[in-house]
Chain A
Amino acid sequence: MGQQPRLDTSPPVTDEIRRTSCYMCACRCGINVHMKDGAVRYIEGNRDHPVNRGVLCAKGSAGIMQHLSPARLRAPLRRVGPRGSGQFEEISWDEALKTATDWLKPIRETAPEKLAFFTGRDQSQSFTSWWAQSFGTPNYAAHGGFCSVNMAAAGIYTMGGAFWEFGQPDWERTKLFMLFGVAEDHDSNPIKMGLGRLKARGAKIIGVNPVRSVYNAVADEWVGITPGTDGLFILALVHELMRAGRIDLDYLIRYTNAPFLVNCDPGSEDRGLFLRDDEGRPLVRDRATGRAVLWDTPGIRPDLANGLETGGMAYRPVFQLMAERYLDPAHAPDAVAARCGVPAARIRRIAAELARVAFEEEIVIERPWTDWKGERHAVMRGRPVSFHAMRGISAHSNGFQTCRALHMLQILLGSVETPGGFRFKPPYPKPPEAHPRPHCRTRPGTPLDGPHLGYPMSPDDLALTPEGAPARIDKAFTWENPLSAHGLMHMVISNAHAGDPYRIDTLFLYMANMAWNSSMNTAQVMRMLTDTDETGDYVIPRIIYSDAYASEMVAYADLILPDTTYLERHDCISLLDRPICEAEAAADAIRWPVVEPERPGHAGVRGFQSVLLDLGARLGLPGMVTEDGAPAFADYADYMVHHERRPGVGPLAGWRGAEGESHGRGAPNPRQIERYIENGGFWLAHIPEEAHYFKPWNRAYQDWAVKTGLVDKPAPYVFNLYVEPMRRFQRAAEGLGRHRPPEHLRDRIAQAMDPLPIWYPPFSEDAATDADYPLHALTQRPMAMYHSWGSQNAWLRQIHGRNPLYMHGRLMAEHGLEEGDWAEVTSPHGTITVPVARMDALNPHTVWTWNAIGKRKGAWALSEDAPEAREGFLLNHLIHELLPPKGDGLRWANSDPVTGQAAWYDLRVRIARADPPPEECRPVFPPVASPVGPAPRNVRRGGTE
């Protein structure tokens, strides 16, 4: 061999690094965008950023290909062909905004509820909701209702926060971590980083999931549970722990409502409600005196074992009711093992491991702290077991109560907000009473009477008209789903089409692929969007849509307002919205245009939030115009800096005050965005060490939260093992109180609104289903792909470009299926024909596939013969937003009866070999015309040739 070639090992890397926030999924990691010759060339993680600390997932690194996607829209579009055809003409922005204004102005002046404004994967909900409130329509929500509202709402009602954005395991200290259900995407990098840290320390990971993919693959123990039975499994763990007294009694009497006294007099109108003093404050029994005293009296010893009688009524502590329920043999491992698909011995062993780690490997941090009563604690004592769950357990019709059960388990172990357990992230903890109530009162030409979404505390808070009819088009906050805290986006189109509860004029959607993967019953939804009445007019008269890309939904709109890519825009990741804080720090962040949006030869694209402000000014919406009627904000960046939600509190918390001298609270700072950019695109404020744990009850934390502007005064509270507001709904179903549910919903309300966690079978299940549809069918989102967006990405689609239906080898053998075969998959609602593949690391009664890989021909600038359009499919076609008729003359929603969350994972199917196999997945839909033309064939260095 001759000389080695001379190699330059120090080539120039970049002209400049611009630091902003990722938007390839909902994690919102910090990214370093490398620029060369004015163009984006490479994206890596920002090491300083609190969310990802330098790492970046496959999606994030592929962001350059999203930015350069051939599916990017280029100009506002006006529909010229029939709806659904995809035939558009490009128009100017002036024309587009004038059209939208001409449509919306008369609505606002006459009947603001005729606008339904729903945003999908919107990361600016505090802004979009403010806009909708100012417009005056009650019909606003984002996508939480079809995502994971059960997890969020159950967490808020139980303890003032849930997983992901609300809190995280104490990764540094936890010794046993249990991960429930499908959770690969919420959140993405932080969970992987956390698992890596647990692995490095040798902590144990238990995965509970019907499918052993990704995180469950590295789990030390995998529990391949039957879908929909997580709640039953959790309550069996509770049964075992209680029976053995392996619960943290000191924690329960100090920090929960376990000692609150419940009226147990069967003849009392107040049965099930707490004993309260004249000012409505709950009372507990003090063991020292046997008397009822205020729950937060310093120095008392609250009782859990004994109740009392007063005023002729019998009262028992919440904990007694819990013991009665969960010690019942119906919750014993032997009683639930078969249904859960988990042997009883294993349930007992996991319970024993939780007990051992929580109570025999207790953590003590030598760090004094003071509670809100003024009691000084010498140490911080913790129970190092922690949990995480997301949609896997929540997207069921029993999801709310299952999520409640998981939170109850954590609380019984004393592991919430203690070292080694689960930790809140600011602005959480925040109990339900600290959130707004829903508002729905409209008046022409006037803003709504308050925020749309919130947490009802009783039937008085439902969004009903004076006549008792649903006030919202999605029927959120009605007796059908009283606690629908995120709205029900998945019901909007079918309700609008049915004119139930009323007809609307304009459907305005943002970043929501409702004509494809974001809807149940996709084919029917497409029909509803194109359906005409007897005069030939569309039943949903007008549809405005904003998206950055040529998604399937584009073809179904009349007017398209094209958005920018995430590298071309301003955004604020705000504490007022879905935060990105850490357990030991508050944080917020921005996006800023690291490149300007350029669409040569076309009218161009604009950031949707800036367009909304422009539209708001044209409509004269309060807050968006000055006194003389001029636009109040130049664009969204201007709003981010100058808008104040409360005096001194705006979208961004960092560098407030004229000189950027204050944080949290302070006057607007005109140079605020520059300061964020200088700091790497984010702001971070550490929580004092004394305030790191016990946040809901820790005086130092409460004081810090006030100073930082998260709350206006300290608001300590206890966890709600017993959710009294749910009991208020249950009472109504028993005929008590001012507001009563309609007759046909009474039994369901009485069952579902149980104030203590319960388990009931998913609504899709009954004996007939078990016989005709013996299999469960699930989807998961791959870690390298985030819903439909990913398929336009030349790199990511090479990783996930088709999706077979995975099934156990024994199931394949039973049905005569071999690798490469196709199967007909039938649910009570329909049939699809899809390719199959074998996977044995799977609950044997479950089949599954990747979510949202399948594409409509003509969408996303893919060629019509792309594998996504031929060998990719949606399970959505098998899922109806309503359950099959039950013979009672009613159609029941396929959703959780508490929150209305879409019960995606209740799906039951049967399979049969498809013979002969089809050439492509069925159903097949005709192609839509592409508004962006064909994509280039070959790609190199981000460009094309």
Chain B
Amino acid sequence: MTSLPEKTERALGLVIDLDTCVGCHACVVACKGWNTEQYGAPLSDMDAYGAAPEGSFLNRIHTFEVTPDAGPVAVVHFPKSCLHCTDAPCVTVCPTGASYKRVEDGIVLVNESDCIGCGLCAWACPYGAREMDAAEGVMKKCTLCVDRIYNDNLPEEDRVPACVRTCPAGARHFGDLADPESAVSQLVAARDGMDLMPEQGTAPVNKYLPPRPKADQAPDGEIDVLAPLLEPVAEPGGFLGWLDRALGRL
């Protein structure tokens, strides 16, 4: 049993825009590439070229269909990684203290040298955001690129998580969600950002911006408003008569 800090100085996390994410997996692979080189043990790929390849990933994309009451079926791409919960059950369940939440920024990490690979934290996480590395036998999870965001060896503009830096559509945002003035907090306020599964009581730091309402879920009766735009050109002389007059006015 490991305890959580009563309060963190900041609450660093991600804001993920589900209206913009095209599901391209760029974040998934950039994360794999960075984190296989940096924090803790490399991310392994078992049976990498075989029948059942199985590697550790700290971020994965799921795709869902949503059937609305009216209009066509919608598709939502849903990237998922550790949400760095304020009340992280993966931390409190840890028998060795390997899982912990940092006091200074709220990032939830696994201290791999204390991790015994028991897997309790993965069971406790309601989001399925932790993965046991099959080669190393330790629990892997999103570190929010703690080895990038403060890293003096990187240019300042690169001190963001690898997934944020690489996202081609700009659907991922990083910042301090405890600061109501931060760009990410403003974005959450403006776009009705939401918690994932709030009923679990985990108080996740990461927020999701929901898809905006689709125009195709409005009935095509909208034509009434736009109909004047398609009013046929006036008589006399029909189209060519109109054309002649219109050219005369140019």
Contacts and interface: CB of A to CB of B under 8 A. Distances in A.
Interface of A: 1-2, 4-5, 7-14, 34, 36, 41-45, 47, 52, 54-62, 64, 70, 188-189, 192-193, 195-197, 199-200, 204, 212-218, 220-224, 240, 242-246, 249-250, 253, 287, 301, 303-306, 319-320, 323, 327, 343, 345-346, 348-349, 351-353, 355-356, 360, 783-784, 792, 794-799, 801, 839-842, 861-863, 865-867, 935-942, 945
Interface in B47-103: 47-55, 57, 63, 65, 67, 72-77, 97, 100, 102-103
Given A320-B240, A784-B25, A54 B165 contact: yes
Nearest to A52: B168
Contact of A214 (B17, B24, B37, B239): B24
Most buried by B among A195, A196, A217: A217
Given A253-B250, A304-B247, A941-B42, A199 B17 contact: yes
A13 B215 contact: no
Nearest to A942: B36
Contacts of A796: 29
A60 B27 CA distance: 11
B28 interface: yes
Contacts of B52: 867
A222 B232 contact: no
A913 B103 CA distance: 58
A886 to B, nearest CB: 37
A794 B215 contact: no
A352 B48 contact: no
Nearest to B23: A214
Given A14-B153, A794-B55, 10 more contacts: A5-B114, A13-B38, A56-B26, A61-B29, A218-B21, A353-B226, A794-B49, A861-B49, A937-B47, A941-B36
Nearest to A8: B147
B100 A1 contact: yes
16 contacts: A1-B4, A14-B153, A57-B24, A60-B26, A61-B30, A195-B22, A196-B169, A197-B170, A212-B74, A244-B231, A287-B247, A304-B247, A798-B54, A861-B49, A938-B44, A942-B36
Contact of B20 (A70, A218, A323, A939): A218
B100 A4 contact: yes
A356 B52 CA distance: 53
B135 A940 contact: yes
A11 B151 contact: yes
A220 B48 contact: no
B229 A356 contact: yes
A188 B25 CA distance: 12
A195 B167 CA distance: 12
Contacts of B212: 220
B246 A192 contact: no
Interface stretch (B123-131, B177-185, B197-205, B216-224): B216-224
Contact of B45 (A13, A215, A865, A938): A938
Contacts of A940: 36, 42-45, 135
- Contact size class for B? 35 or more
Interface in B141-174: 146-147, 149-154, 157, 162, 165-171
Contacts of B43: 940
Nearest to B143: A7
Contact of B229 (A8, A246, A801, A840): A246
A778 B34 CA distance: 35
B155 to A, nearest CB: 9
Nearest to A870: B51
B80 to A, nearest CB: 14
B45 A345 contact: no
> Residue among B77, B165, B230 with the most chain A CB within 10 A?
B230
A189 B28 CA distance: 15
Contacts of B49: 70, 792, 794, 797, 861-863, 866, 935-937
A197 B171 CA distance: 10
A212 B73 contact: yes
B189 interface: no
A44 B44 contact: no
Nearest to A45: B166
The 8 closest A-B pairs by CB, nearest first: A352-B226, A192-B168, A935-B49, A196-B169, A217-B75, A196-B170, A9-B150, A941-B42
B168 A799 contact: no
A345 B220 contact: yes
B33 interface: yes
Nearest to B98: A5
A196 B3 contact: no
Contact of A218 (B19, B30, B243): B19
Which of B44, B153, B223, B244 has the most chain A CB within a 10 Å cutoff? Answer: B223
Contacts of B38: 11, 13
B233 interface: yes
B3 A1 contact: yes
Given A58-B26, A62-B29, A218-B20, A42 B34 contact: yes
Contacts of B135: 938, 940, 945
B226 A221 contact: no
Contacts of B55: 794-795, 798
A816 to B, nearest CB: 21
A801 B26 contact: no
B7 interface: no
Contacts of A62: 29, 32-33
Contacts of A244: 229-233
B151 A13 contact: yes
B62 to A, nearest CB: 12
Q: Which has the most chain A C-beta neighbours within 10 Å: B28, B42, B77, B247?
A: B247
B120 interface: no
Contacts of A839: 65
A44 B37 CA distance: 13
A412 to B, nearest CB: 13
B81 to A, nearest CB: 15
B36 A305 contact: no
B16 to A, nearest CB: 13
A12 B5 CA distance: 29
